[in-house]
Amino acid sequence: MATFEEMVESFKKLMRETNTRPDREHNLTKKQLENKLNKRKNINAHISFQNGYILSIQKWYGTYGYEDGKYEIAVLDKDGVRYDTPITSDVIGYLEPEEVMKYYERVKSLKWKPREQEEL
C-alpha cells in the first residue's frame, strides 16, 4: 500500500498533467507548436510575431473547449488582449489544432494597428 506522501505526490502529478495551467512557453517555433497540438497536450503559450502581435494559445482546465480537448486563442500585444483586430474582438475557443494553425498564420500576417485611445 502507498504511503500518504506517495499518494500526495501521485495526486500532485495527476493535477499537473490534467487540471492545471502549464508553465507558459514563449516563442515556440511553428514546428514546435504543431507538434504540441498534434499530441493534444495542455498548452499555455505566447508566440510573438515581428508585426508586434502575440498569439496566445491555451488548453488547460477552465479554458474554452478544454473539456472537449480543444484549444482557445487570443490576439494580444505587449499590453494585453486586443479586442480590436480584424481577426477577433474576444478570445476564440473550441478550436481544433488545424484551426489554431490557421489563426497562427492570420495573426502572423496582420498589419500592425496601434490601440485606439480611450476617451476620458
Greatest pairwise CA separation for the chain in angstroms: 65
Residue with cell 477552465: 62
Which pLDDT score is estimated for 24? Answer: 78
Q: What is the pTM of this model?
A: 0.77
Which pLDDT score is estimated for 33? Answer: 87
Which pLDDT score is estimated for 11? Answer: 65
**Per-residue pLDDT reduced to its tens digit, 89-115:** 999 999 999 999 999 999 999 999 998
- Are the C-beta atoms of 55 and 103 separated by less than 8 Å? yes
- Hey, where are the domains in the chain? 24-108
